[in-house]
Amino acid sequence: MIVGIIGSGGREHAICTKIRESSKISKIFCIPGNAGTNHIAENIDIKIEDFKSIKNFCLNNNIELLIVGPEQPLVDGIVDYFLDTNIKVFGPNKLASKLEGSKIFTKELCERYNIPTANFKIIESLKNAEVSLKSFKYPLVIKADGLAAGKGVYICKNYKEGYIAAKEIFNGKFGKAKNLLIEEFLDGEEMSYFVISDGKSYQFIGSAQDHKRVGEGDKGKNTGGMGCYSPSRLLNSKLAKKINNKIIVPTLNAIKDMGSEYIGFLYVGLMIKNENPYLIEFNVRMGDPECQTIIPLLENDLSEIFFDCCVGKLSEKKIRLGNKKSICIVLCSKGYPEDYKKDSEISKLNELSLKNNEYIYHAGTKLKDNKILNSGGRVLNFVSTSNNLKKSRDDLIKLIKILDWKNGFFRKDIAYKVIDQ
């Protein structure tokens, strides 16, 4: 089978690495890919928003399965765009992708289907925000409505911080904004829960605890994710039952009630408070860096799972994750999540000696004149699977320190809640 993967991050490199293990895969194209996928697949320089060129390339190169990694093409309707072809596209359609594309859509769905989530108010202008912010209890949460690469969320301690957040959103920091959300602050602990669905049935495919804040001890600004570990220490069978019955099943039923079906990964971002789950957000793709953390634990042929989802046969498989734990540390460009310098060389990568349980996934890299340069804020993902998270973390930090890259930084305390407490 010939496969295409859309995306250029660590998530796509991890997926590419995993499906390459399958004896059923004869060729992998990454669109556009990165310096890491370049070693195990053929990178194709097409922009992910150029659906016409992607479709033509897929048809001309006999691609049978197209895997969509990032959220933007899904929200923009790439699955629908391929409906007039015989190519199987793994991911939810445009309607289902509104679960991530519009936080307001999701909040209103939660209200209709009694899905537990924070109380909220939709704000349609800065003037409207000025008035509403005076009536809310602090701290509160302000969210940009659309896609914001994991960074459009503000936790505000007072009116002044709330007003600044609202002003930034309405002034277009995360793209044109018609409205925003003000939410009550839920005091609990976050957890990521993942399922995969074929439109008829779904299966659990892992849990994780992500570290969103840029600084150690979960301090500082929000990022796309500085690292994570899997499985989450919070998950047990009682909690999983609540998540499934109160959140996942009603959500998938809601999509069916709208005349559609949900095919793909569903990332359920949760706040756990008093052993009860509350929905923070949905993502319509695998998380990043959660994907890099969970995929190495998977014992199945991932390409088979993707294909079976596309043809409604997921129930014929049983997803197996094994008993090991996994940890991921993200190496970032100095300055991230704000401005950072690009195109600096990362040396000594080829000098790193990896054990069988260790992986390096490229997230924001490019190859130029046989040199690996940084091209994004989150640059490399260092992953280890074992039964000892502390040893895994220590080993990964040693690996990172071998690199010659003065423009990078990383958090040394990933998984501190299970290792250091």
Structure tokens at 96: 């289902």
Q: How far apart are CA 93 and CA 156, in angstroms?
A: 34
Strand partners, 265: 196
pLDDT of 172 reads 82
Closest CA to 83 of 240, 230, 263: 263
Q: How many CA atoms lie within 13 A of 245 on its CB side?
A: 7
Q: With a threshold of 0.85, does the pTM exceed it?
A: yes
Contact 54, 70 (CB under 8 A): no
* Phi, then psi, of 199 in degrees rounded to 5: 95, -20
> Taking the CB of residue 157, how many other CB atoms lie within 10 A of it?
11
Q: How far apart are CA 410 and CA 401, in angstroms?
A: 10
Contact 263, 91 (CB under 8 A): yes
Residue 352 CB partners (closer than 8 Å, separation 6+): 360, 399, 402, 403
Asked if the peptide bond before residue 277 counts as cis, ω within 30 degrees of 0, the response is: no
* Integer angstrom CA distances of residue 232 from 45, 155, 236, 270, 403: 37, 23, 9, 11, 29
Place of tokens 């605890």: 209
Angle formed at CA 376 by CA 410 and CA 145, multiple of 5 degrees: 95
> Taking the CB of residue 49, how many other CB atoms lie within 10 A of it?
11
Structure tokens at 124: 């349609």
Going along the chain from its start, the domains and CATH numbers come out as 2-91 (3.40.50.20), 119-184 (3.30.1490.20), 189-316 (3.30.470.20), 325-419 (3.90.600.10)
Q: How far apart are CA 288 and CA 185, in angstroms?
A: 24
Q: What is the pLDDT along the chain (421 residues), one digit of tens a residue?
A: 999 999 999 999 999 999 999 999 999 999 999 999 999 999 999 999 999 999 999 999 999 999 999 999 999 999 999 999 999 999 999 999 999 998 889 999 999 999 999 999 998 888 888 888 988 889 999 988 877 665 678 889 999 999 999 998 888 887 777 788 899 999 999 999 999 999 999 999 999 999 999 999 999 988 889 999 999 999 999 999 999 999 999 999 999 999 999 999 999 999 999 999 999 999 999 999 999 999 999 999 999 999 999 999 999 999 999 999 999 999 999 999 999 999 999 999 989 999 999 999 999 999 999 999 999 999 999 999 999 999 999 999 999 999 999 999 999 999 999 998 6
SS (H, E, C) the chain: CEEEEEECCHHHHHHHHHHCCCCCCCEEEEEECCCCHHHCCEECCCCCCCHHHHHHHHHHCCCCEEEECCHHHHHCCHHHHCCCCCCEEECCCCCCCHHHHCHHHHHHHHHHCCCCECCEEEECCHHHHHHHHCCCCCCEEEEECCCCCCCCEEEECCHHHHHHHHHHHHCCECECCCCEEEEECCCCEEEEEEEEEECCCEEEEEEEEECCEEECCCEEEECCCCEEEECCCCCCHHHHHHHHHHHHHHHHHHHHHCCCCCEEEEEEEEEEECCEEEEEEEECCCCCCHHHHHHHHCCCCHHHHHHHHHCCCHHHCCCCCCCCEEEEEEEEECCCCCCCCCCCECECHHHCCCCCCEEEEECCEEEECCEEEECCCEEEEEEEEECCHHHHHHHHHHHHHHCECCCEECCCCCCHHHHCC
* Integer angstrom CA distances of residue 312 from 120, 197, 304, 404: 36, 9, 12, 47
Q: How far apart are CA 191 and CA 230, in angstroms?
A: 10
Sign of CA dihedral 106, 112, 118, 120: positive
